[in-house]
Amino acid sequence: MDGDKADPKEKLLSNAFLDLQRLGQNGEYDRALKVTNRILQLSPQDENAFNCKIVCLIHLSKFNEVLQLMQRQAALSKDLHFEKAYCQYRLNQTEEALATVEQAEQSYRIKELKAQILYRLESFSECLSLYRDVIKNTHDDYSDERETNLTAVVTQLQHMNVKNDTV
Amino acid sequence: MPPAMEPVPAKPLFYDLALNFVHFPALPEKTDEGSAGKHKGTGISG
């Protein structure tokens, strides 16, 4: 608790973060969650550990728990817009999810999530232009799936018989 | 009498890609990885 104990605590923490990194890479989120809890017991305001805990809970489909935790820990959650919006999206709080992504910095993962939110809200025109932006500017392993989503958007637009000059 | 059957369009396939981008933050200063190569930008002649 005092200065003399700082060193072993640091050592414990740095080992715990090494474990966390490995478990995250292997997708072992149930075990990683336990490590984040251990870190947060030692160091309750650790932003990295908190962020990792939120990620674990999402991969364990505990979306309600994430939102409750974010409410209790507002300061630690202030930059986790993407994670918050994703949980709202999965809980069908779709309008709230849209509001959350609009507060966030516009990274490509935020745009990807926003496109999915707009699809669910049936704002297909806006969704289409967002997908075009994301497809043009991302180079990852998901381009096939993204093209499939684009096709779904185009299909919905045609089906709705939307007059649409942007296509 | 049941209502007449009518065709409905199939729901197009739509993937949740955002979940793939839910990942841990970079944990640099917490692990020892960065410390050895910390000054790698510095040349031998300083």
Cα separation values, A103 from A19, A29, A92, A114, B24, Å: 33, 28, 19, 11, 21
Q: Is A152 on the interface with B (CB under 8 A)?
A: yes
For residue A102, pLDDT over 90 is answered with yes
Tens digits of per-residue pLDDT, A113-135? 999 999 999 999 999 999 999 99
Angle between helices A108-120 and A143-159 (to 10 degrees): 30
User: How far is the C-alpha of B20 from the C-alpha of B28, rounded, in Å?
Assistant: 21
Percent of chain B with pLDDT over 90: 33
Angstroms from B18 CA to nearest CA on chain A: 5
SS3 content of chain B, % helix, strand, coil (to 5): 15, 0, 85
The runs of H, that is alpha helices, within chain A are 6-25, 29-42, 47-59, 63-72, 74-77, 81-90, 94-103, 108-120, 124-137, 143-159
Contact (CB<8Å) A18/B21: no
Tens digits of per-residue pLDDT, A45-94? 999 999 999 999 999 999 999 999 999 999 999 999 999 999 999 999 99
For residue B42, pLDDT over 70 is answered with no
Average of per-residue pLDDT values in chain A: 93
Angstroms from B35 CA to nearest CA on chain A: 13
**Residue A2 or A115, more confident:** A115
Q: Which residue has the tokens 């973060």?
A: A17
